[in-house]
Structure 1
Amino acid sequence: MMLLKVKQINKEWNGHLLFENISFEVKENERLALFGRNGAGKTTLLKGLTGRLKFDGGEVQRLLPLEEWGWLDQQAQHDSALTLQEFVQAGSDELFGLKQAMEELTIQMQGGDNSELQLGRYSELFERYVQLDGYSWEIKVERCLTRLSFERALWGQTFQQLSGGQKTKAQLAALMVREPKLVLLDEPTNHLDAEALDALEQWVMSYGGTIVYVSHDRTFIDRTATSVLELGQHACRRYPGGYADYKKQKELELKTQEALQKKQEQEREKLVESIRMYAEWFQQAHKAAGQNDFLRSKSKKNVSRLHAKESALERLGSNKVQVSRGETQLRMQLDSDEFSAATLLRMDAVGFAYEGQNPLFRQLSLSVNKGDRLAVLGSNGAGKSTLLKLATGKLKPDTGEVILNPQAKIGYFEQELEQLDHKMTILESLLQLPDMTQTYARTILGCFLFSKDDVFKCIGDLSMGEKCRVAFLKLYFSKANLLVLDEPTNYLDIETREQVEEALLQYHGAVLLVTHDRYLIRQAANRLLILSGDQAPRCFPGTYEEYLSKDRSRIMSPEEQTIQNEKEILMLRLSQLMGSAQPEGQEEQETLLRELRGIRLQIANLSNEA
C-alpha cells in the first residue's frame, strides 16, 4: 500500500536553492533512510512532508491522514511543563485526556462533590478508558521509559528540565507508545548512549508501521534501513539496502561512469582524427579536380563523409557521460610533533566527584602511550567527558594524580565547542597564528570547505557542523601529539566523518576518544576503556569488533595492562618497518631483518607472559 507520493517538489531558502525536481514514494512497512550532506535540506524536506513548511513548487500526496503520522524533530520544539511520564502519555491524545479528566473528577469527589452527575460522568470516562485498555497503556508507558534507560527518579521531572539527549528519548518514548502508522525521525540517534541506541534499533527493526528517518549513524542505517534515498540538489535517487550497500552501489556507478567516459573519449579522438583526415582529402581532391566536373563530383563524397563524422561528434558531445564524483570534500591531515618517550599521559588512583554527587571515579588508573587509539565507552552520565577534562587539566582530581609527560602536547576537541571565539570571523581566527598570510589562510580554509565569502562569517553564526570544522582547523595547526576528542563527529555528515576517520588513521600521535559513532570506534580504536556506574573502569586490549565478540567480564591487572601496552608499541614498530621501503644495500637489508626478527621474538615472549 502506498502511503505518500512526492512529485517534482522544490525549495529555496534565503535565495539559495536547496533542492528541485524531487520525486519519490513511500510504501507501507518501509524503513527509508534519507541521506545527504549537511545543508542538503533533509530537515526541510521532512517538515514539508508533514505540512509544517510549504514547498515552493511540486505536489505532496498524503494517502494517510496526518492524525496517523508521528514525527521527532532534531531539536525538541516542546517547552512542556508536564512531567516526563506525563509527556510520554500525552503522545496518546485520547487516553491521556481521559486519564486527566478522571483524575480531576476524583479530586473533586474527594473534596465532597459526590453528585450523581459527577458519578455518572466518571462512570462514562472509566468505561471508555477500560474500553481503550487504558491500564495496559499505562504499563506500556512505564515499560517504554525503563527500556530507554530512564531512572524512576526522572519520571517526575518536568520535560523542560531534561537534557537534550533525554528530551530526544522522551519524544521517542511518546512515539513508541502511540505507534502511528507513519513515523518521521530527524536524527533520532543524536546523544543516545549504547543502551538507548540498541533499544531504538530494536524498535525500528520490529515496528509494525512505516519509518522515514534522517541519520548520520552508519551502523544504525546498516541495521535498520530497507532503502536509502539520496537527496541531491537537482534530483533524488533510491538505493536498496543500508549504508554499506549504498556505498558499494555508488562505487560501482562511479567505475561504470569512468569506463563509459574513457570509451567515449577514445571514440571522440577517433572521430576528430577522421574529421581531420576527410577534411584534408577533400581539400586535396577539390584542388586537384580543378574544373573537371567528374573529379569535383567525386571529391564531394569526402565532404559527405566529413559532415557525417562531424554530426557523429556533435551527437557524442550532447550525450557526454558526466562522472559524478560528488561535491567538494573536506581535505584534512593532522600532523604531530615528534615524541620519544613511551607514555604521554598517566592517571594514578584518580578519584573525582562533582559537588553534592556520588563519586564518578575511585582509584582510576590509566596510561596513554605512543600509538594508542583509546576509545572511552559508557552510558550517558558514566563520566566520559569528565575523564577527558581530567586528562586535559580542565578539572583537578579529588584524589590521586594526573601526570602529563613534559614532551606531550594536547589538542583538545570539546563537545560543547566552547573553546571557539564566537565573536571572530573564521579568517580572523586563522590570521592570529604566527607567520600566517591571508593567501595561505584562504587556501587552508578551502580545504576545510570554507570558500569565498564563507571565510568572513562570524563563528558564533555558524551551524554546529561548520563550528566542528573550525575546531578541527585548530587541531590542524596545533601539532599536538595527543589528541583528546569529545564527540568530534556529532554534527558532521557522513562524507565529512569519513574524511575525519581517514585523517585519524594517518595521524602519528596518540588519541583519547569519546564518541557514540560506532563506525569511528571500529576504524580508529585499538584499545578501549569501559566506564560503568556499577563497576570499576575496565581496560580492553583490543578493537571494538573484538570487544563485541569476546568475554568482557574480566578486568585487566596493572601488570597485564603494562604487557599489553608494550606489545602494542612493538606491533606499531613492526607495522612501520614492514611498510617502509626495502633498503638497497645488503648490509642495510640484513640489519632490517635482524630488527624484524627481534621485534617478533619480543612480541612472542610478551604473549607467553600474558
Structure 2
Amino acid sequence: MFLLKANNLAVEIAGQKLFENVSIEIKEQERIALIGENGIGKTTLIKVLLGRLPAQSGHVQYGVNKKEIGYMVQENQRDNGTVMDFVIANHPNAVIKNELTHYSQLLAEQPEDLQVIEEYNKRLQKYLDVHGYDWEMNVEKTLKQLGIPEPLWYLPYANLSGGQKTRVKLARVLLQSPKLIILDEPTNHLDIESIHWLEDWLLNFKGSVLFISHEREFIDHVATSTYELTKSGTKKYSGGYFSYKQQKEHEYKTMQKLYEKQEQERKKLLETITQYKQWYDKANAGASVRDPYAQKKAAKQATKMKAKEKVLERLEKEKIDKPELTKTISTNFVSDDFGGRKMLELINVTFSYSTMPIFSNVYLELNWRDRLAVVGPNGSGKTTLLQLMAGILEPDCGQVRRNPQLKIGYFFQELENLNFENSILDEILMIPNITQADARTILACFLFRREDVFKKISTLSMGEKCRVAFVKLYFSNANLLVLDEPTNYFDIPTRETIENALIVYPGSIVLVAHDPYLLRKVANKVAYIKKGKVDYYPGSYHEWEKHQTFSNPVQLMMNKLEKLQLRYTQLMTDENVDPAQEESRLAEVKKIRVEIEEIEKKLIE
C-alpha cells in the first residue's frame, strides 16, 4: 500500500522551470533519501508533496490522511517559549488546555464568582471530552521516549543545543501519530553522536520516512532506497548512498558503451553515405539520355544513399549524449620546503571563556603534511581550539609556537574575504598569478561552469558563496588550512569535490567536520575533545574509530544500552499494536529487559 504517490510533477519559479517529470512513491515502512544538487528544488518538491505549494502539472495522491503526515522543517524555528510550549504548539488540545489554565487561575482568585465557575466547568468538560489528560500523559511519554529529560521541559527552547532541538522537533511531529515523517536536512547542526542517535531512532520507527540529506553515511545507515532529483525528473535507486554510487557507475559504463557503439555506427554510416555519393556522382557523370543502364545504376546508388541517410537521421534523433564525469582537481602546486619540520605546537595550553573552562594543559603538535581531524561533541571547544591554533584567540596559560614560515588560511562561515559586488570569475582572478583560462578551469573543477562564472557573489546561495570562499583560500599561498565545518551548506557533489581537493593539497590541514566520509578520506591524525581534555591519536580517522570501539569496552556497552533502552521505550509506549503481534512484542520486551539488566550489572561491576 502506498502512503503518498506523485506523478509527472513540474514546477516553475518566476517563469523558470525548476524541474519536470518528477514521480515518487512512498510505501509502508520505506525510508527514502531524496538527494540532488543545491538549488535543484528538493525542499520545493517536499512542499508540493505536502500540498503547501502548487505544481504547474502532475498530481499527488495520498493513501493516508494528510494529518497523518508529519513534517520536520530544515530551519531552526524561532520560539520564545519553553520546550513544552514548542512541543504542544498548534495542537488543538493545547488551545483548550490554555483556556482551562486561564479559568483555573481566575477561579483561584474569585472562588465565589458563578460565571467563572461556569466557564471553568465548560472548559474542563471540553478537555475531558477530547481525553486531554491522556494527551498530556502521551506528551510526557513522547518526550521521555526521545530522551528529553523532565528538567528541560520548562527551559527556553532557544537555549537548547542543535541535537536537543532535533529531538524536540521530532516530539512535536510524533504527537500527530504520523504514518509518514518527512524530514528536511535533519542532521544540520548535529554532532556525530547525535546523528548516530537519530539513525537508531529512525531505524526503529514503525512508519515510513522521506528525508533530504547530504550526509552520505546517514543515508547509508537509514535509507532503504534513494531518489535522485534533477531538472529532468527523478530516478529511484535501491539502498543508500554507497549502493546509489555503485548503480550510477554501472549506468555510466553502460551509457559509455552505448555511446561508443553509436559513434562507431554513425562513423560507419557517414563513410558509407560518402562512398555511395561518390559512386552516384561517378555513375551520373557517365550516364546519358541514351544510356539507360548508366541511368539505372546512378538511380540505384541514389536510393542506397537516401536509405542510409534515413538511418543516420533516425540515429541522430535517438542520439545518446556523451556521458560526462565530474572534473577532478589537477594542479601543480609550488610546495614550500618544510621538510619534516614542526609547523605548530600547543604547549600546556589552558583556555576559558570568563569563568567557564574549556580545556586545560593541552599539548598538541602539527607537522608538515599532517591532516588533523578535530572531533568531539557540540560545545566541547573544537572551534576554540582552531582559533587558538590560528592566533585568533590567545591562551590563558601555556603557549602556541608557530613556525616562522607558517602561513595560515582560516575558513569559517562568515565569508569576510568575499567582495559581494564581484562576479565569481572576478573574485577568483584576485588570486595572485592566475590567468583567466586557469581561473575558469579551476571554477569548472569546483562545479561553476560556463555562464555561472559571471554571476554576482551577492546573488549566490550560501553553499555557492562558501564554495567560492573555499576556492580562494585553497589557491592562496597558505601552507596550513584551518577549516571549521567546510562542508556545511554543501551538496554531495560539492563535498566530494572538496574531498578530492584536500587529498591532493600539499600543505597541512586542521579540520572540524561532522561528516565521517570526509574525515575518513582526509584525516591522518585525530584530536578528540571531551570534558576539557584533548586526546591525540597518531593515526587515520578510520583507525581512531576502531581504536575507540575496541579500547573502550565501557563506552561500547553504554552505546548498546542506549539502543536497547530506545527500543524498549518504543515497544512499551506503542499503543497501536496489532493483537496478533502482541505475543511476539511481549517476548521482545522480555528479551530486551534481560539484556538491559545484564549490561547494567556489568557497568556496576
Alignment partner for residue 139 of structure 1, among 141, 144, 154?
141
Equivalent pair of 1:482/1:511 in contact (CA under 8 Å): yes
Equivalent pair of 2:74/2:186 in contact (CA under 8 Å): yes
Q: How does 1:187-336 map to 2 (within 5 A)?
A: 187-288=185-286, 290=288, 291-325=290-324, 335=333, 336=335
Alignment partner for residue 518 of structure 2, among 507, 517, 520?
520
2:332 and 2:498 mapped to 1: Cα distance? 9
Asked if 1:400 corresponds to 2:402, the answer is no
1:192 and 1:27 mapped to 2: Cα distance? 28
Alignment partner for residue 545 of structure 2, among 531, 538, 548?
548
Match of 1:59 in 2: 59
2:25 and 2:138 mapped to 1: Cα distance? 35
Q: 1:304 to 1:40 in 2, by over 3 A?
A: same
Higher mean alpha-carbon deviation, 304-313 vs 97-106, is at 97-106
Shift of 1:26: 2.0
Asked if 1:349 corresponds to 2:348, the answer is yes
Amino acid across the alignment from 1:134: E
Higher mean alpha-carbon deviation, 449-458 vs 208-217, is at 449-458
2:293 and 2:459 mapped to 1: Cα distance? 79
Equivalent pair of 1:79/1:160 in contact (CA under 8 Å): yes
**What's the Cα RMSD here?**
3.0
What whole-Å deviation, never above 9, does each CA across 1:496-518 have from its counterpart, x for those lacking one? 11011011111121111100111
1:470 and 1:241 mapped to 2: Cα distance? 33
Amino acid across the alignment from 1:8: N
Higher mean alpha-carbon deviation, 162-171 vs 478-487, is at 162-171
Q: 1:142 to 1:424 in 2, by over 3 A?
A: farther
1:366 and 1:170 mapped to 2: Cα distance? 37
Higher mean alpha-carbon deviation, 506-515 vs 132-141, is at 132-141
Q: 1:69 to 1:542 in 2, by over 3 A?
A: same
Match of 2:593 in 1: none
Alignment partner for residue 124 of structure 2, among 122, 125, 133?
122
Taking structure 1 as the reference length, the TM-score comes to 0.81
**Any idea what SS the aligned residue of 1:38 has?**
coil
Q: 1:45 to 1:332 in 2, by over 3 A?
A: farther
Amino acid across the alignment from 2:362: L
Asked if 1:536 corresponds to 2:549, the answer is no
1:142 and 1:172 mapped to 2: Cα distance? 12
Equivalent pair of 2:11/2:18 in contact (CA under 8 Å): yes
Shift of 1:316: 1.9
Higher mean alpha-carbon deviation, 288-297 vs 27-36, is at 288-297
Q: How does 1:100-111 map to 2 (within 5 A)?
A: 100-101=98-99, 103-111=101-109
Match of 1:504 in 2: 502
Shift of 1:224: 0.9
**Any idea what SS the aligned residue of 1:529 has?**
strand
Higher mean alpha-carbon deviation, 116-125 vs 23-32, is at 116-125
Taking structure 2 as the reference length, the TM-score comes to 0.82
Equivalent pair of 1:540/1:552 in contact (CA under 8 Å): no
Amino acid across the alignment from 1:506: V
Question: What 5-or-longer segments of structure 1 have no aligned partner?
Answer: 556-610
What whole-Å deviation, never above 9, does each CA across 1:232-257 have from its counterpart, x for those lacking one? 11221111111111111111111111
Higher mean alpha-carbon deviation, 220-229 vs 17-26, is at 17-26
1:369 and 1:179 mapped to 2: Cα distance? 54
Match of 2:169 in 1: 171
2:126 and 2:519 mapped to 1: Cα distance? 56
**Any idea what SS the aligned residue of 2:307 has?**
helix
Q: 1:39 to 1:124 in 2, by over 3 A?
A: closer
Shift of 1:60: 2.1
Q: Percent identity?
A: 43
Shift of 1:453: 6.5
Amino acid across the alignment from 1:144: L
2:192 and 2:435 mapped to 1: Cα distance? 45
Q: 1:13 to 1:338 in 2, by over 3 A?
A: farther
Q: 1:345 to 1:156 in 2, by over 3 A?
A: farther
Shift of 1:340: 2.9
Shift of 1:155: 4.0
